[in-house]
Structure 1
Amino acid sequence: MNRIPHFLCAGLLAAAALSPVAALAQLGVGEGTGAAAATNAAPQHVAPTALATLLSNNLALHVAADNNHGAAAGVPCASLGADWASCATGRLIFVNRGQQLITDGGWKLYLHSIRRLLRIDRPGFTLRHLTGDLYELTPQPGSLRLAPGERFELPFVGEYWYLRYSDLLPRPYVVVAGAQPAVLKYDDTDDETRYVESLPPDAQSNSPGNAPPVAAQAVSDRALPSVKRQRALDGTLDLHGVDLRLPDISPAQVESLRERAHTLGLDDAGTRVAGIVAPQRLPADIAVPGGYRLTIGPSGAFIEGYDAAGEYYGVQTLYSLVQEGGGRIPAMRIEDAPRFPHRGMHVDLARNFKHPATLRRLIDQMSAYKLNRLHLHLSDDEGWRIEIPGLPELTEIGGRRCHDLSETHCLLPQLGSGPDNRSGGGYLTRNDYIELVRYAADHFVEVIPEIDMPAHSRAAVVTMEARYRRLHAEGQEQEATEYRLLDPQDTSQLTTVQFYDRRSDLNPCVPGALNFASKVIREIASMHAQAQVPLHIWHFGGDEAKNILLGAGFQPLNGTDPGKGRVDLAAQDKPWARSPMCKALLQRGEIKSIDELPTRFAKQVSMQVAANGINTMAAWEDGLKGASGPQEFGTRNVMVSLWDTIFWGGADSARDWSAKGYQTVLALPDYLYFDFPYTLNPRERGYYWGSHATDEYKVFSFAPENLPQNAELFGDRDGNPFEVTGTGGAPRIEGIQGQAWGEVMRNDRLLEYMVYPRLLALAERAWHKADWELPFVAGVSYKLGATHHVDMVALERDWAGFATVLKQRELPKLERAGIGYRKPTFTLTGE
């Protein structure tokens, strides 16, 4: 159904006066809910473990999302407190797939929802939000009786809309007192189509993607990423093996090139590949870090690098030109250098952990395509993913999920993990991290650790509270409070972006906060030192310290705007607003407003970063916005990770941050978030608040140094044209990076599906500036369908070459490396 019929709403009100069993019999909604089902004899008492097993093996929870326009269908979305009065309707469908009767007695169901569940539209059930995306559903006595094969439908209202199967999370579980929590067997899957019965009509799309079909090109001389310039020479090189002679590269780095050759099917013995570091022999535009000249002739290859990295990249270019298993390469001379110093990939380990072997495979591919910085998001609300000596609770509790309502032994399940870490759990031991840092360095990849604070810190806050309780009970009060991250008298009421309470934010006013940051920075820096790979960049995080219910989409309970949700604004606080310790800072004049606290804390942490010999502190833009410029921080450099979309002002943001002197790295969601879907097809997973469809062509088409230009090629999130006019000076861009946020990537396989082949298009734009990219010019406007500044013939010609190399040469290499990539969205004709 598309909405709750008016007669059913009235029936629900009338039935509320009856007993639950009688109400179900009268309503008779859905199969198995009529009088016959409601009057079956009650089952005999079942032992807790047997009941949990019965429910786990036989009860299935299906979901049907019916209508994404609840308000238009008469649902009081504004009164329910939906953001911008936007809500959707659907049904939770209980199905008995066993041979025994299922009743309501003695159990609770725990389910996940990335949308706020605003209401259950049936009497006899209690819905309680616990934390994050976890809800507790309790059937009241007499509310549920399911004979074998029967269904029971429970209508609900959720916030916003449901456009993807991945909007609806798996692994609900039952809890019976005296038994272990048990996942419903039929919902224990990462294939959402097994339990999502339907999506609303406006969620249907068979769009194959943005990429136009292309004819295969002759690309024997094209590398990926493309090179700065090249000149053909006489002859060809028959390359089936490599004899590497690279004295200026460390033995471990030479070995990584040898391993890459093995992956491509090249032998150890064969063509001589020699190289030297000779910066003085290179032309000025190539004489930069990572620059090189590669000469390929019939008898071998010779590389002149600006530095060791340049020499290394010269070999990777040679490898790029050869088919897997070897073959002939045209003789040529290449002069090449990186476009940006920062060519990055971000991986979120906190929401759902990814294993070291997967990260090593990622490093292999980053290295092959000349990406040089791996940004690891190691902590968040949902998990802490790196061992810190002296603070075992961080990983013993914060690294796993289970059904412990006190969160003394673990964090509560999130993101469809189940109560036993069927997805999401795990962490890097100290030794894992040291080995990973060393492995990355051997591939000319720099690891950037991120410990997110002061917001998105729930895993740290909860685990340090457990530590406090343990030491307090032992009478060690000073030790107990040393790393405590809460003001125990703070009563601030807030809801964070992902629906946590004030424990999502460490309190920057308590002494333990800076103690904790200093301890973690010191320990991770020591891991880099032990790996003999100094830590150069520390990422502070700093994003989203706010109460979403104070956003523009909400109004007071007596508000009259039909387009905004009504909430009790008087009961809502900004983070730390009711913290006595923070109020004391106000009274002493150390801050003028609570709003200053995130940036104030970032400055304090930057001093600790500098004290550990780290030259650069990075942060998401939120964490730096209260400062006038990088000179207010303790480190030599301050890097901003920019995550505005272009249609929400990203071009202006890049200009402003760059003008203030920040090293500006573009992490723009509409082009560079790889947790967003590839296409409009609802079976493609991903969040989509910034883009409904980001395939490899869209990433390839990105113009990072002239952000207004992008408005001519693609519309906003919904495909609508928008106009951007260049103003001020051209921003100075430090680089770009792809983002693999982990909410929808519950396992390593899903990470690789979402990242590849988009990573190769990212590498193309991070390393090489295309001839169809226009220079930034103030006053020039761009708009889809209205302006025609971009040379589309040149763009499509370039794309055809890239697509041919990707399909014919690079995808077989990914397969040989064991990478679980997604099949490209484009079709290649004439192969």
Structure 2
Amino acid sequence: MKEVDDIVSEYKRAKRRYRLVARSSISKMLKRYCSRWYGVALLALIGWTCGVVVLVFASRLDSGVDLNYKLPFISKSKHLKKLSQADLDHFASTIRLNYTVLENSYKGKKLFLAEILLTNTGRKVLPAGGWAIIFSQPYTLEPEQFPYPDGVEKREFGVRFHFFSGNVYRMTPISGFRPLAPGRVKAIRFVSEHHCVSRTDVHPNWYFTGPNLQPRIIESTRGESLDFVAPFNRSGLWKRNIIKGDKDYDWFHPFTPADRARRLKVQDLGRAPTPVIPTPVEMVSYNPRSTLTIDPSSWVIVSSPSLANEARFLSDHLGVQMTIRQPGRSYIALVEAGVQVNASPQSQTQQTQSQTRLVLEEAYDIEVNPRLSTIIIRAPSPSGAFNGVQTLLSLRSLNGTIPEVRIRDAPRYRYRGLMLDVARNFHSKERIFRYLDVMAMYKLNKLHLHLTDDEGWRLEIPGLEELTQVGSQRCHDLKEQTCLLPFLGSGPFTGPPGSGFYTVADYRDILRYAASRHIEVIPEIDMPAHSHAAIAAMEARHARLAALNFTEAARFLLSDLQDESKYLSIQSFNDGAVNPCLRSTYTFINRVLTSLVSMHRDISPLRTYNFGGDEVPKGTWQKSPVCAQLRQSGVSAEPKRYLASQIANMTSLYNLDLAAWEDGITSQGQPMRRNEFPNRNVYVYTWNNVWEWGGMKHAYEYANKGFKVVMTPATNLYLDHAYEPDPEERGLFWATRYSDTKKVFSTMPENLYLNADTYRSGLNITICQGPDVENQCPTLNKPENIEGIQGSLFGELLRTQWESDFMLLPRMLALAERAWHKAPWEAESDPRRMQQGMESDWQRFSNSLGHRELSRLDRLGFQYRLPPPGAEIVDGFIQTSVTFPGLPVEISDDAGSTWRSADGQNILFDPSKSYQLRTRAPFGERFSRVIYLTNMASAHFSALNYGIVCNMAALTVMVGCVF
């Protein structure tokens, strides 16, 4: 890294200066004392002292003491001046900020030690005051001293840190901070909770601010490269817990090329064995050697009147005209008709008659006949016909040919969903359109839109303008009067991804686009927790109107202004919970609810309202006067339960189904009673299945109690988690260290307990054993209440479109496969045969992705994740492999200057060389993360951390002083 080189250069300059002084002194002393007996002793003492000075110098750097006043040849700034805007602009562009994690499991606790290096590369002295640096991070800083309303001082570094809700921090210089001269380095250390094991754990866009000055982003931290974060180049940095003997010791290591080859190697079948993903239930016939090509100038589309919209969709995609009269040949017919699907006994699910009817409403039958030049799609409903249309588009090759085939198909689950978090970081309307397109391609039919959270409110509600004027914007306003705080590295200015919202027209456009693809949009307005944005917006409204009309000002207020409760959410918000005891809370909910009903009415009537309900922190509302009054009035239910009951009553008046995350329907650790909810259906999204936490039973518990269950287990279907346990991989890891495409593919929704593989630490786990097995792993007695599965993509780390694409794809294809198709191996009772069946099925699926589906995504511009290749040295030759056969692998032996194909090549391994490998996309110039293959046992990282460089430099100077 350039930063390391600069530090090394600084030490070399210091070494040269000290050696010049030392040589001059030693030369004089040699002449005078060399002939005397104590001369040698004196010289030894001088050398030892010189070495100690430099070692102290290095250790001072390590401990953060400013180099600016520890070396005599570095000038001092003797006065403090007021900064101008030009000064602040200069410092933002010339103060280089670097972030280094020094140690996880700091002092044997769930803490990590980090260091900020400020290097002055400019021409001006950074003064000892008049500025601050604002930044955000995922974890609470100095947690052992929290809370600290007046900030926490780090006197040894001359700075104070101030906490703002949601882990936004202001770092200001205090007494003891010495001005930072040009060319000098300032190190500052702090402790944070938990661990930091990935580059993307650090947020970008740190910025300078000063009194009456416009904030400026520190250029070295700008954007998504995160180059200012030092490498995680040893196990103490990439492991979450390094305490030997601790039950949570982290056993994961980043995959080596050989690890990847052994774990993910798949036989290349040379083709896509399955012409359609997700896999159809019944492939009656398939002859890939017999094909037809649709000529838009001669082919037509005819349809039953009820299927005209689906015919129009197909016409738009193929450029083929629609007509009323059916010709003798060269036509595509969409026919409304019943379909019988003969599922094999192994893949049948236990279903009630009503649920089977729901699934069969989406069935289709497609027949492609090249001899007659006809394609006929039969379906009992428009949604079934649309599924048939998507299968036809999937069958069409890149050159336009379609094979002879007969398919009868129907979905496994009625609910095949994707949750998109647009609250943490905003997704434009156009990006939502793209994801609706890819959902439709793979027959997903439910878009759960997470529209609100602590960090943003993303939907216009007429009459509550502050929700979008304040609640949808993030900028530099630490009092949150005009915008929210700059959460999640969004920086000091409004604009994407931190700021943005859907107007009523935008939202209706999304509904219209989704409805044309038979996708139901389920809006989520998350409360009572995760509501900081709404609370701040309504407090801004209250402040605006209070002087004019107190009654109207308080009409939609969501917080008890006299509440002195102390709490902190998982995301470190201390003001993010709506107060369920306020009447105005329900006035607010009713306004939002009626607005949503109105927006949906003439496009896709609102059927389900999701109120979130998750992660309410302990201590909330304990000192709320209005909650005390509510209890005194005879309401015995806890506030969260009271809120759920009230929302259920309100939504039932609109004949709506109710939905929530599992903890929203939980009271005192137990599921609420189904009869507490008057709604026709109550959908529970079960997510908290972390094996060692005991939550794996929740899905079956809720189903057995009569709730409709949508399974989105975090260990398998949270698509925001990293693909690999590597510090260079984007993603979270709180539920499981990593979750790749194969893990999503291997999920068994109807055998949840069999999905248990490892603890979060990496050790194998065994569950459902012992005398308490029925309580630990209850049996699913009402399988008819399992509605389906959903992948969830939370957006804390996703600030750009390519990052969202990367995390979503290709895992979403595996999600679609499991939501639509029940594989025979899922029903195997023998674990060995089940594993063999899964591996064989994965080979088929991965070849279909590599040889076909990823090319389709490429053509549509999706920037899906390209998995790095595996590599082994076999009989002296480099042997490569890739997760999705068909993706090209390239190799370089000149540090990436030139690349050549490694596919099918006999490349002799030269131990004197270092090789780089990467996977390439089928189209365009997109590549995977580069991996390294050397003759070293561990070839992950080659850069030294600066601490080693410092110690080596100190040792060099010490030796120079002696000799």
Does TM, normalized by the shorter one, top 0.5?
A: yes
Displacement of 1:652 in angstroms is 1.4
1:494-524 alpha-carbon deviations (Å, 9 max, x no partner): 11111111x2001000011111111101101
Whole-angstrom CA distance in 2 between matches of 1:496 and 1:828: 40
Structure 1: which amino acid aligns with 2:652?
Answer: A
739-748 or 197-206: which moved more? 197-206
Gaps of 5+ in 2: 1-58, 143-151, 239-252, 324-328, 349-355, 769-776, 869-881, 888-963
Q: Which of 548, 556, 565 is the equivalent residue of 1:483?
A: 556
2:303 aligns with: 246
2:730 aligns with: 685
Structure 1: which amino acid aligns with 2:659?
Answer: A
1:455 aligns with: 529
Is the 2:69–2:76 contact (alpha carbons within 8 Å) kept by the matching residues of 1? no
Whole-angstrom CA distance in 2 between matches of 1:217 and 1:649: 43
2:285 aligns with: 232
Q: SS where residue 334 of structure 2 aligns?
A: strand
2:255 aligns with: 206
Whole-angstrom CA distance in 1 between matches of 2:661 and 2:392: 36
Q: Which of 153, 161, 167 is the equivalent residue of 2:201?
A: 167
1:729 aligns with: 780
CA gap 1:827/1:683 in 2 versus in 1, 3 angstroms: same
CA gap 1:808/1:121 in 2 versus in 1, 3 angstroms: farther
Displacement of 1:130 in angstroms is 1.2
Q: SS where residue 619 of structure 1 aligns?
A: strand
Displacement of 1:349 in angstroms is 0.7
CA gap 1:828/1:412 in 2 versus in 1, 3 angstroms: closer
Of structures 1 and 2, the larger Rg is shown by 2
Whole-angstrom CA distance in 2 between matches of 1:534 and 1:140: 58
CA gap 1:102/1:223 in 2 versus in 1, 3 angstroms: same
Whole-angstrom CA distance in 2 between matches of 1:412 and 1:131: 8
Q: Which of 824, 827, 830 is the equivalent residue of 2:883?
A: 827
CA gap 1:432/1:45 in 2 versus in 1, 3 angstroms: same
Q: Does 1:612 align with 2:654?
A: yes
2:681 aligns with: 637
Two-structure CA RMSD over aligned residues (Å): 2.6
Identity percentage of aligned residues: 33
Q: SS where residue 827 of structure 2 aligns?
A: coil
2:92 aligns with: 56
Displacement of 1:400 in angstroms is 0.8
Q: Which of 505, 520, 529 is the equivalent residue of 1:446?
A: 520
1:215 aligns with: 268
Structure 2: which amino acid aligns with 1:368?
Answer: M
Displacement of 1:788 in angstroms is 3.2
1:5-40 alpha-carbon deviations (Å, 9 max, x no partner): xxxxxxxxxxxxxxxxxx989978475562447751
Q: Does 1:364 align with 2:433?
A: no
Displacement of 1:669 in angstroms is 0.8
Whole-angstrom CA distance in 2 between matches of 1:183 and 1:642: 40
Displacement of 1:189 in angstroms is 1.4
Displacement of 1:628 in angstroms is 3.5
1:53-88 alpha-carbon deviations (Å, 9 max, x no partner): 12211112211101112123xxxxxxxxxxxx4111
Displacement of 1:248 in angstroms is 4.6
2:446 aligns with: 373
Matching of residues 376-395 of structure 1 within 5 Å: 376-395=449-468
1:102-144 alpha-carbon deviations (Å, 9 max, x no partner): 2222001111111111174734211111111201111124513
CA gap 1:200/1:294 in 2 versus in 1, 3 angstroms: same
Q: Which of 179, 198, 209 is the equivalent residue of 2:213?
A: 179
Whole-angstrom CA distance in 1 between matches of 2:837 and 2:64: 64
Structure 2: which amino acid aligns with 1:687?
Answer: L
1:582-613 alpha-carbon deviations (Å, 9 max, x no partner): 01122222115xxx211221111122212223
Is the 1:66–1:199 contact (alpha carbons within 8 Å) kept by the matching residues of 2? no
1:781 aligns with: none
Q: SS where residue 814 of structure 1 aligns?
A: helix
CA gap 1:291/1:108 in 2 versus in 1, 3 angstroms: same
Whole-angstrom CA distance in 2 between matches of 1:189 and 1:492: 38
Q: SS where residue 759 of structure 1 aligns?
A: helix
Whole-angstrom CA distance in 2 between matches of 1:53 and 1:718: 45
Structure 2: which amino acid aligns with 1:393?
Answer: E
Is the 2:61–2:187 contact (alpha carbons within 8 Å) kept by the matching residues of 1? no
Is the 2:478–2:485 contact (alpha carbons within 8 Å) kept by the matching residues of 1? yes
Q: Which of 357, 363, 374 is the equivalent residue of 1:291?
A: 363
Displacement of 1:184 in angstroms is 0.6
2:148 aligns with: none
Q: Which of 645, 669, 673 is the equivalent residue of 2:718?
A: 673
Q: Which of 606, 613, 619 is the equivalent residue of 1:535?
A: 606
1:122-173 alpha-carbon deviations (Å, 9 max, x no partner): 3421111111120111112451332333221111111111111111111111
Q: Which of 545, 559, 567 is the equivalent residue of 1:471?
A: 545
2:400 aligns with: 326
Whole-angstrom CA distance in 2 between matches of 1:479 and 1:802: 59
2:916 aligns with: none
Q: Which of 789, 792, 796 is the equivalent residue of 1:743?
A: 796
CA gap 1:185/1:646 in 2 versus in 1, 3 angstroms: closer
Matching of residues 497-646 of structure 1 within 5 Å: 497-501=570-574, 503-530=575-602, 532-547=603-618, 574-591=619-636, 596-614=638-656, 616-626=657-667, 628-646=672-690
1:271-327 alpha-carbon deviations (Å, 9 max, x no partner): 522121212666698861211111221122212112111111012112222223412
Displacement of 1:797 in angstroms is 1.7
Is the 2:204–2:222 contact (alpha carbons within 8 Å) kept by the matching residues of 1? yes
Q: SS where residue 826 of structure 2 aligns?
A: coil
Structure 1: which amino acid aligns with 2:293?
Answer: L
Q: Does 1:69 align with 2:120?
A: no
Q: TM-score under structure 2 normalisation? A: 0.74
Q: SS where residue 580 of structure 2 aligns?
A: coil
1:801 aligns with: 844
Displacement of 1:415 in angstroms is 0.2
CA gap 1:686/1:267 in 2 versus in 1, 3 angstroms: farther
1:560-592 alpha-carbon deviations (Å, 9 max, x no partner): xxxxxxxxxxxxxx1000001101122222115
CA gap 1:123/1:252 in 2 versus in 1, 3 angstroms: same
Q: TM-score under structure 1 normalisation? A: 0.85
Q: Does 1:756 align with 2:809?
A: yes
Q: Which of 137, 152, 164 is the equivalent residue of 2:171?
A: 137
Gaps of 5+ in 1: 1-22, 73-84, 548-573, 778-786
Q: Does 1:90 align with 2:139?
A: no
CA gap 1:27/1:317 in 2 versus in 1, 3 angstroms: closer
Is the 1:521–1:612 contact (alpha carbons within 8 Å) kept by the matching residues of 2? no
1:158 aligns with: 192
Structure 1: which amino acid aligns with 2:716?
Answer: Y
Whole-angstrom CA distance in 2 between matches of 1:827 and 1:272: 39
Q: SS where residue 473 of structure 1 aligns?
A: coil
Is the 2:77–2:179 contact (alpha carbons within 8 Å) kept by the matching residues of 1? no
Q: SS where residue 186 of structure 2 aligns?
A: strand
2:748 aligns with: 703
2:856 aligns with: 813
Q: Does 1:664 align with 2:701?
A: no
Whole-angstrom CA distance in 1 between matches of 2:481 and 2:886: 61
Is the 2:135–2:170 contact (alpha carbons within 8 Å) kept by the matching residues of 1? yes
1:608-651 alpha-carbon deviations (Å, 9 max, x no partner): 2122232x110001110135333211311000000112513344
CA gap 1:275/1:328 in 2 versus in 1, 3 angstroms: closer
CA gap 1:790/1:691 in 2 versus in 1, 3 angstroms: farther
Whole-angstrom CA distance in 1 between matches of 2:455 and 2:886: 48
Is the 2:525–2:611 contact (alpha carbons within 8 Å) kept by the matching residues of 1? yes
